[in-house]
């Protein structure tokens, strides 16, 4: 996989213009802004994810 750094505005433009298949403005927003994916409360109710975030993110 090739990783390329783009400014958020450029990535958002590319997403809106359809320049990168599968890239959406929502996806740009999710990876461009800090956040925490914590599934503790959901798992406490018995929910299980289809995939583990660490495995998908390569952590």
Contact 25/15 with Cβ under 8 angstroms? yes
For 57, the 3-state DSSP assignment is helix
- Helix then strand count (H, E) for the chain reads 4, 0
**What tokens were used for 38?**
């914590």
pLDDT in tens, the chain (59 residues): 677 788 999 999 999 999 888 899 999 988 888 776 788 888 999 998 888 777 777 76
pLDDT of residue 1: 63
Mark out the alpha helices in the chain (DSSP H runs). 8-17, 25-32, 40-44, 53-57
Contact 35/51 with Cβ under 8 angstroms? no
């Amino acid at each position: 996989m090739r990783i390329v750094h783009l400014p958020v505005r450029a990535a958002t433009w590319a997403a809106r213009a359809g320049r990168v298949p599968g890239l959406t403005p929502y996806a740009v927003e999710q990876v461009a802004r800090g956040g925490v994916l914590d599934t503790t409360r959901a798992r406490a109710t018995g929910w299980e994810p289809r995939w583990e975030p660490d495995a998908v993110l390569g952590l």
